[in-house]
Structure formats: C-alpha cells, structure tokens
Amino acid sequence: MSELILIVDDEPDIAAALDYAFKRESFETRVVHTAADALATAIAEPPALVLLDLMLPDMPGTEVIRRLRSEPTTAQIPVVMVTARGDEIDRVVGFELGADDYVVK
C-alpha cells in the first residue's frame, strides 16, 4: 500500500500534472478542487502529505492550513504550499501558518 497524497488545486491542468507525476512514482492520490473538499477529505482519510494551492474558489489556502492545523487528526500532516503567489510576504505567511514547504508554480 502506498502513501496517500492529497492534491488541492482548482486548476485542472496543474492538478492533473501533479496527480500523474505522483501516481507514476507509485503514490496513491486524491485530487480535489475546493477548500471544502480538501478539509472533508483530509479529515475522512488523513493523507501522508497535502499539496495545497493558496488561491481556491471557496476559501483561501491560508484558511485551509489554519483549519488543518487546528484539528487533532490533521495537525501533524505535512503541508506543501504549491501556488503562483511567490512574493516574500506570501511565503512568510505560509510558513507562519504551519506550511512545511512553499513551492512557486
């Protein structure tokens, strides 16, 4: 059984590329496109890793990570922000909220 990676990105092409890359390396993946689906999925089936976009249609990724860190079942899951926002302040905020890494698309 491989480790589960939760991919949270509202851009279908980027989500599909990430999904393909991780499946090719034998990881199990779940792809969701909204913050609400990300939170529900992470709580129902805690992944080994979350790849999280900052700009989601229903709520900012910063709020998603804040909620993940506040839930006992998801608080320790590594979260990598994968976003188009590359300004230093965005990175600082991401790390302050508990991101484990920050990758600019």
Which residue type sits at 14? I
C-alpha closest to that of 77 among 104, 100, 61: 100
Tens place of pLDDT per residue across the chain (105 aa): 579 999 999 999 999 999 999 999 999 999 999 999 999 999 999 999 999 999 999 999 999 999 999 999 999 999 999 988 878 888 888 899 899 999 998
Residue 80: enclosing H or E segment and its boundaries? Answer: strand 79-83
pTM, entire model = 0.92
Bridge partner list, 49: 5
Contacts of 13 (CB under 8 A, 6+ apart): none
pLDDT at position 36, please? 98
pLDDT at position 10, please? 96
